């Protein structure tokens, strides 16, 4: 690639993981709206970087453009307008080299991929996020929006931004945070100025769970009737834990993110490592008590909910599954097993715990408890 930031290190394996999750989500998000027909959608990359790393590996903005390119035929056919906002700013630097590299890299891309250039409007912005966010918020509120917040550290994960995003109607966001900063500095006045977290509770579990616990604390900050759902994906880098916080209100968005996360890690769907030590759980401990793996535990909980009649159909089962950070197939396996074991019965062969059955086709199936 002609435009590279030679001052930057190459992306490491964990950065690539993060970028792949970002791009997988763009790949799922773009067609969802494009296929709806004529409308305007927006993609915001507030911390866009330079476009490529030192070795020419694409960063988030080029990956966004690539994902738009994959849908180019549908975008033209369905007359969808895509507005892309790419911001890069180096605080305290007079010469905004990274911003220039970003603009050059993307313009070069659009020169080569003229179809993408015709399908989108692109705005290159060189502003401090703090100043820019309130200016772009009306656009985030107005259109279906995909927002990337790939900050260094944690500074911009404050109530101010999180609660503003919570109020938007059709925004899906992916925040990147260095959760290990929290572990170390969460109680310091500098941190508390941005985000007040109950550190005692956040630190109740071992360090590897910090990202999960941080999200648990963030959930408590949301209004009680919020539709916004937050999910973690932890990325371990040496002794540091970084992570993605995915946020969305629509069940389709949640379902798509969880699908991506579980494809990435089939054991826990929430980390690039074995966060719950599930690999060790096949062995019995001294007292012959088998510890349940994450999926097994979920199935057990779901079974309890069904037997207690707190869940009695696929609509409730699907919502519960998403709320617990699982995918429909985990629930379906459990419910089929219950039928096989003559604990419940339902019409047909499938328990219909999928997005399409519940939300698109509104096909309801009841699970009836069988008395033994
Ligand atoms: C983690 S990097 C983003 C990497 C990018 N997503 C990529 O794929 O290459 C964070 C970027 O935010 C920029 N940045 C730092 N402080 C900022 C601020 N206050 N406002 C906007 N951008 C900022 C940095 O210069 C850096 O390029």
Please write down the long-range contacts of 59-62, taking CB distance under 8 Å and 24 or more positions apart. 59/11, 59/19, 60/19, 60/22, 60/23, 60/148, 60/150, 61/86, 61/102, 61/105, 61/106, 62/105, 62/106, 62/109
Taking the CA of residue 60 as reference, the ligand 1 atom at the shortest distance is 8
98-133 residue pLDDT tens: 999 999 999 999 999 999 999 999 999 999 999 999
pTM, entire model: 0.95
| Superfamily, domain 13-264 | Vaccinia Virus protein VP39 (3.40.50.150)
The best mutation among 5, 18, 49 to test binding of ligand 1, ranked by most ligand atoms within 8 Å of the C-beta, falls on: 49
Q: Which of 306, 357, 304 is nearest to 329 (CA)?
A: 357
What is the Cα–Cα distance from 22 to 64, expressed in whole angstroms? 9
Q: Tell me which residues have their CB closer than 6 angstroms to ligand 1.
A: 19, 47-49, 59-60, 87-91, 98, 128-129, 150-152
The answer for residues whose C-beta is within 8 angstroms of residue 336's C-beta and 6 or more apart is 351
Mean pLDDT of the chain: 94
Measured between alpha carbons, how far is 121 from 105 in angstroms, rounded to an integer? Answer: 16
Please give the residue that has the higher pLDDT: either 335 or 201.
335
> What CA–CA distance (Å, rounded) separates 229 from 323?
8
Q: Which of 147, 115, 140 minimizes the C-alpha distance to 47?
A: 147
* pLDDT reading at 372 higher than 50: yes
d(CA 99, ligand 1 centre) in Å:
10
CA of 242 to the centre of ligand 1 (A): 15
> Which two structure tokens, joined as six digits, stand for 124?
């290159």
pLDDT for 8 equals 64
Q: Is 305 exposed, middle or buried (0-12, 13-18, 19+ CB in 10 A)?
A: middle
Q: How far apart are CA 39 and CA 82, in angstroms?
A: 9
| pLDDT bucket at 239, cuts 50 / 70 / 90 | confident
pLDDT for 302-351, tens place per residue? 999 999 999 999 999 999 999 999 999 999 999 999 999 999 999 999 99
* Proportion of the chain above pLDDT 90, given as a percent: 83
Residue 369 region by backbone torsions, left for phi larger than 0, else alpha for psi between -120 and 50, else beta: beta
Instruction: Determine the residue of 4, 44, 46, 47 to mutate for testing ligand 1's pocket, defined as the one with the most ligand atoms within 8 A of the Cβ atom.
Output: 47
Cα distance between residue 7 and residue 303, in whole Å: 55
Decide if 149 contacts 46 (C-beta within 8 A): yes
Which one of 60, 151, 155, 177 would you pick to mutate in the ligand 1 pocket, going by the greatest count of ligand atoms within 8 A of its CB? 151
């Amino acid at each position: 690639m002609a435009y590279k930031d030679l001052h930057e290190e190459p992306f490491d394996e964990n950065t690539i993981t993060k970028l792949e999750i970002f791009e997988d989500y763009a790949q799922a998000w773009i067609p969802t709206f494009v296929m709806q027909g004529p409308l305007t959608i927006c993609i915001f990359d507030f911390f866009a970087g330079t476009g490529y790393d030192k070795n020419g590996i694409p960063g988030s903005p080029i990956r966004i453009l690539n994902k738009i390119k994959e849908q180019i035929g549908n975008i033209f056919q369905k007359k969808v307008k895509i507005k892309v906002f790419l911001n890069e700013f180096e605080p305290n630097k007079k010469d905004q080299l990274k911003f220039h590299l970003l603009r050059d890299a993307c313009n070069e891309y659009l020169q080569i991929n003229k179809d993408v250039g015709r399908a989108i409007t692109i705005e290159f912005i060189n502003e401090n996020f703090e100043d820019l966010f309130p200016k772009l918020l009306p656009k985030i509120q107005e259109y279906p929006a995909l927002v990337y917040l790939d900050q260094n550290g944690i500074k911009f994960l404050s109530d101010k931004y999180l609660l503003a995003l919570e109020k938007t109607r059709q925004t899906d966001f992916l925040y990147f945070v260095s959760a290990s900063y929290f572990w170390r500095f969460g109680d310091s006045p500098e941190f508390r100025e941005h985000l007040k977290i109950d550190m005692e509770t956040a630190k109740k579990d071992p360090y590897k769970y910090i990202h999960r616990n941080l999200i648990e604390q963030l959930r408590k900050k949301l209004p009680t009737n919020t539709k916004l759902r937050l999910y973690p994906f932890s990325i371990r880098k040496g002794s540091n834990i970084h992570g993605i916080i995915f946020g969305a209100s629509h069940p389709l968005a949640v379902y798509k993110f969880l699908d991506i996360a579980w494809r990435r890690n089939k054991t826990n769907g929430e980390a690039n490592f074995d966060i719950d030590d599930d690999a060790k759980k096949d062995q019995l401990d001294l007292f012959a008590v088998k510890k349940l793996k994450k999926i097994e535990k979920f199935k057990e909980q779901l079974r309890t909910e069904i037997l207690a009649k707190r869940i009695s159909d696929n609509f409730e089962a699907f919502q519960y599954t998403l709320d617990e950070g699982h995918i429909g197939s985990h629930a379906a396996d459990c419910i089929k097993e219950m039928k096989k074991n003559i604990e419940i019965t339902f019409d047909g062969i499938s328990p219909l715990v999928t997005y399409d059955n519940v939300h698109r086709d509104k096909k309801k199936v009841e699970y009836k408890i069988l008395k033994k």
